[in-house]
Amino acid sequence: MKLCMIGTGYVGLVSGVCFSDLGNEVICVDNNIGKINLLKKGIIPIYEPGLSELVIKNYKNKKLTFSTDLKKSVKESDIIFICVGTPTKKGGGSADLRQIYNVSKEISSSINKFKIIITKSTVPVTTGDEIEKILSKKNDKKKFSVVSNPEFLREGEAIRDFTYPDRVVVGTNDKKSGKILKSLYSPLISKGALYLQTSRRAAELIKYASNAFLATKITFINEIANLCEKTGINVEDISIGMGLDKRIGSRFLRAGPAYGGSCFPKDTKAIVSTGDKFKINLSVIKSVIKSNENRTKILLDRINLILNKKIRNKKITFLGVTFKANTDDMRDSSSLKMIPHLSKKGALIKYFDPTGYKKEFSKLKNVTNKTTIKEAVAGSDLVIIHTEWNDFKSINFKNLVQGKKFIIFDMRNIYSSTKIKEQGFKYYSVGK
């Protein structure tokens, strides 16, 4: 089977490379010539542990190729994965599907033999039906099958998530493509992945419902953390106590800053918008979105209180600015709201992130990037641990700054408060 991935963003590149590593021939297509040229040289446009090694290995052994020629690549392939972006529409909450439909039109004129067209991009329920309509205009329905096969990769863990998925979901309304897809995924199924075949619409909705549910779990524990702070309880005890109930499960119950990234904020809005389209009020998800937006304000209010309501001229350090560890992705990171707010209030901000300088802060007054943790924290009044990078998990602050003490606000609950206090630092965390 020859595979074609359209779109070499996160989803397309990671899935394409991993499929090639399973022994398939894969063409990764993108209309960005610069990106394709870099990939051919083994230069990866995103930060993802382990990805560059796999690209180089499979490009060298010719299992993986890169191209800007969509039509030719589609003609040469049996299975086409659509992996282009579905961002939030400007001025609304629904998903902007223009890239999906443009690609579908291009595929439509390249169907020269039976092809399976798969949406791997996160697309609202009924998008597969629309793609089918586009393809049917020029092609006999027997010549293609439109399938939904959502991805559940987490940034920073993407290769592991691809190789050892909890489940593979394939939504198809015909037996032939179901059989082919099951055989494509058989190397993962034989390693223990559960394979679930559903209707196409169900697969589309499983993806949104999963992301919305995970976002709900995080938001839920963040609100419980607020209550813990007022009642002298450690939220980590609550997470453990709840998580031991197998019906609840312990994952995604870590309190912290507002959830961010390229998926949860976008997908929660899009599912609400789909609900509205079908006149269904998804009120739980609506309140999750609201609560998450308010989360940054709550943490900023806490910073204000920690600094005795005197932010002007205070030296504040951010350790980590990405939305989570092991990624260089800044999309919807809560630091994008916190840093501008504090800078506007007159704080002098330094930040250090293992993935380096961020252009997002370049226009802000008094915000500077530092290339070491030591430089970033030197002379600070308040150090905020914003992202849970391993680099921040065993810092000996006492040795690092020799003498000068600052306040630490650990938004990811990395440290033990007693140990930090023993070193002579004032320490605040979340939900304790």
Contact residues toward ligand UGA (CB under 6 A) are 122, 151-155, 211, 214, 218, 252-254, 256, 259-261, 263-264, 323-324
User: Which positions ≥6 away from 186 have C-beta within 8 Å?
Assistant: none
| 8 A C-beta contact, residue 70 and residue 84 | no
Active-site pick, 4, 28, 228, 263 = 263
CB of 327 to ligand UGA, least distance (A): 7
Please report, as a single letter, which amino acid is at residue 292: N
Task: Could you list the beta-strand ranges (E) of 182-227.
Answer: 194-198
CB of 315 to ligand UGA, least distance (A): 26
DSSP per residue, 355-373: T---GGGTTSTTEEE-SSH
Instruction: With CA atoms as reference, report the closest residue to 397 among 369, 416, 371.
Output: 416
Residue closer to ligand UGA (CB basis): 24 or 335: 335
CB of 224 to ligand UGA, least distance (A): 12
Active site residue 4: no
CB of 414 to ligand UGA, least distance (A): 13
Residue closer to ligand UGA (CB basis): 115 or 269: 269
Burial class of residue 246, CB neighbours in 10 A (0-12, 13-18, 19+): exposed
Residue closer to ligand UGA (CB basis): 264 or 392: 264
Residue closer to ligand UGA (CB basis): 214 or 349: 214
Residue closer to ligand UGA (CB basis): 74 or 272: 272
CB of 156 to ligand UGA, least distance (A): 7
Instruction: With CA atoms as reference, report the closest residue to 145 among 103, 114, 169.
Output: 114
HSE-CB of 343 using CA atoms within 13 angstroms: 18
Instruction: With CA atoms as reference, report the closest residue to 278 among 94, 26, 46, 76.
Output: 94
Active-site annotation, residues: 263
